[in-house]
Chains A and B, each alone.
Chain A
Amino acid sequence: MSLDTAPRLDADALLNDPQTRIVVCCGAGGVGKTTTAAALGVRAAERGRRVVVLTIDPAKRLAQSMGIDALDNSPRRVAGIDGSGELYAMMLDMKRTFDEIVEAHADADRARAILENPFYQSLSAGFAGTQEYMAMEKLGQLRARDSWDLIVVDTPPSRSALDFLDAPKRLGSFLDGRFIRMLTAPAKAGGRAGMKFLNVGMSMMTGTLGKLLGSSLLRDVQTFVAAMDTLFGGFRTRAEATYRLLQAPGTAFLVVATPERDALREAAYFVERLEADRMPLAGLVLNRVHESDAAQLSAERALAAAEALDERGVDDAGAGAGDAAALLRLHAERMQVLAHERRTRDRFAALHPEVPVAQVTALPGDVHDLAGLRDVAELLASQEAPGA
């Protein structure tokens, strides 16, 4: 099984389909995920759709490529889109999103108590998993507003590929856990005689925790958990709703990778995980693929010819001998890169022959304007059929 026989990903068909409402780009860090998301946004908008791109990566350059100085937590209209469609872009601000949830779901006093809590302030500024929860929240909010007919999401560069999908479950198991009940118990259980025995055990545990965390931190945590108690439930309900939304028809996952061993290993992991979670996978986008218009000339033959030219020299092979040898060495180096990429890609294709693939040729420079994003999208959308 090689990549040449793998089905081709038809990005235009995906973007044209009015049933497609959410496209999620996921993959390892540094594979061009954010650029792919932005390019898809431009492409869809120029095909008449009303699109919002939600990025997680605070890449200033990407904002600039869409003509926006800085992206923030509210969608900004991108100027310069051809045709009747519209493109908006925004960047997830974890703390702002978290604050908004607190403000929207708690009364003023309680909201203030939470926002001023030192534990909350650290938590919301982006520790362990907050980004993933907030990305899920934001996606749910955008979908609920129904102002866009397509949302393109770029997922956080997670420590592990799974954090984005695991966020609702992890939050759920934490909230259902006895630990949180124990933390809130001192505030709730006063006066209930039947709880007395339990409370002895609990105060022992709080004692241990106090010893560990220090009593002031423990108090902050307890106050925070008590104040957040009602909010947590809604949080979980919404996260679970977003999780189901991701499984529903109308969502398409694109796994983004480069033809490198690590990136494709991570991609394979994503593909398997999406399948296990019954998430709809549309295909694999392979960025930075090298090509050659002289691929019929192998690295070995090019190197042999270059050596022959070195030996024969200008007198024998003419004035172009030295330059021709350099061009051949350059070609050989490129063919070696190509061969390595091909082996890596074929390995992925052998493991997941059913996954449609789109390849995007490596560009010598970086993308820094709308025209650049348009070019990337064009490369992504124009895939030759297998065997062509």
Chain B
Amino acid sequence: MSGLQRLHVVTGKGGTGKTTVAAALALALAADGRRTLLVEVEGRQGIAQLFETEPLPYGERRIASAPGGGDVYALAIDAEQALLDYLQMFYRMGSAGRALRRLGAIDFVTTIAPGLRDVLLTGKACEAARRQDKHGRHAYDAVVMDAPPTGRITRFLGVNAEVAGLAKAGPIHNHARSVMRVLTSARTAVHLVTVLEDMPVQETVDGVAELREAGLQVGAAVVNMVRPALMDDAELARAEADPAALAAALSAAGLGGASRGARAERLVAPLLRQAHEHTERLALERMQRAALARLELPQYELPLLTDGVDLAGLYRLSGELGKQWPL
């Protein structure tokens, strides 16, 4: 589809850090003088919290500069505002909007009517991806959407087809169809964020199948919060075989010897127990990696930041992503 910039839709099970990954991706895409828009659709103000800034108003606002010069803009899409924009932009019906609000029709459309809310939210993101100035220059080089979780993503993106079917003619029908064309085009990709645990991986596998079934293009799997592999089964077996040697080494490292109440000896058992938990977790992670590999998607990994994700951490993650992901 010409005249359209890339739209990256980022989803993931709750708790996997999809907002963080979406933000890191927007930063990486803005590197070297480009300009990206990061949009939020769930009204949680997660972007503002991540970038340590005050809540985002409805309106595109620059929130960060990317490495090498480049700008990240952010927008928290509000369904009601998007509807009024839409009425104004396409029908010059700003005043009708106010009348509709008085009647409660805006509430109806944005919270109760099936799917219309989601059409408005996806519609706004698609509009930003298509927007050009009068010289034909794109407003953004890429748009990144922090989308609803994996369990709801196909319905969220597919809603336009459903609404287009429900409203058989008229502007909503046309709008929903045009949004669907953007979402199913090769310029749009859905990326799934997961952690190496059973349920999130299972949800990712199911989500990929649903998205493909619905004709939506799946981009990458991003494995987030990966903890380092510090010891394997063979090393653990060797260590366990000679606890006396471990105690001696701990003692030599100044962690207390026999003369100091055998503290080094007493450390051995808990340290080995932790190592067992570690190798058990690594074994489970291998199974999850294998399940993800069967999806045949490009796969990128981000480390767990043990101090939590602050602004510096976010830039670090964005750098990691930029190194692995051919953007």
Contact = CB atoms under 8 A, between A and B. Distances in A.
A41 interface: no
Given A30-B14, A213-B170, A217-B170, A61 B112 contact: no
Interface in A300-330: 301, 305-306, 308-309, 312, 316-321, 323-330
Given A159-B43, A317-B248, A294 B271 contact: yes
B242 interface: yes
Given A215-B170, A331-B274, A324 B253 contact: yes
Nearest to B19: A262
A69 B44 CA distance: 35
A157 B151 contact: yes
B238 interface: yes
A128 B245 contact: no
Contacts of B245: 318-320, 323
B230 A333 contact: yes
Given A122-B166, A340-B307, A211 B171 contact: yes
Interface residues of B, number: 85
Nearest to A182: B103
B185 to A, nearest CB: 24
A179 B239 contact: no
A205 B108 CA distance: 14
A160 interface: yes
Contacts of B80: none
Given A215-B170, A316-B252, A340-B308, A323 B104 contact: no
Interface of A: 28-31, 58-59, 61, 118-119, 122-123, 125-130, 157, 159-160, 170, 173-174, 177-180, 182, 205, 208-217, 220-221, 258, 260-263, 265, 292-294, 297, 301, 305-306, 308-309, 312, 316-321, 323-331, 333-334, 336-337, 339-340, 344, 364-366
Interface of B: 13-16, 19, 42-44, 46, 49, 87, 91, 93, 96, 99-100, 102-105, 107-108, 111-115, 117-118, 148-149, 151, 155, 159, 162, 166-173, 197-200, 202, 227-228, 230-231, 235, 238-239, 242, 244-250, 252-255, 267, 269-275, 277-278, 280-281, 284, 304, 306-309
Q: Which 9 residue pairs of A and B lie closest in terms of their CB atoms, listed nearest first?
A: A29-B14, A30-B15, A214-B170, A177-B104, A320-B245, A30-B14, A127-B114, A293-B270, A323-B239
15 contacts: A28-B14, A118-B166, A122-B162, A128-B117, A160-B44, A177-B108, A213-B170, A214-B171, A292-B274, A324-B253, A325-B249, A326-B230, A327-B274, A333-B306, A339-B306
Given A319-B245, A327-B231, A364-B277, 7 more contacts: A122-B166, A160-B42, A173-B104, A265-B49, A320-B249, A323-B245, A365-B284
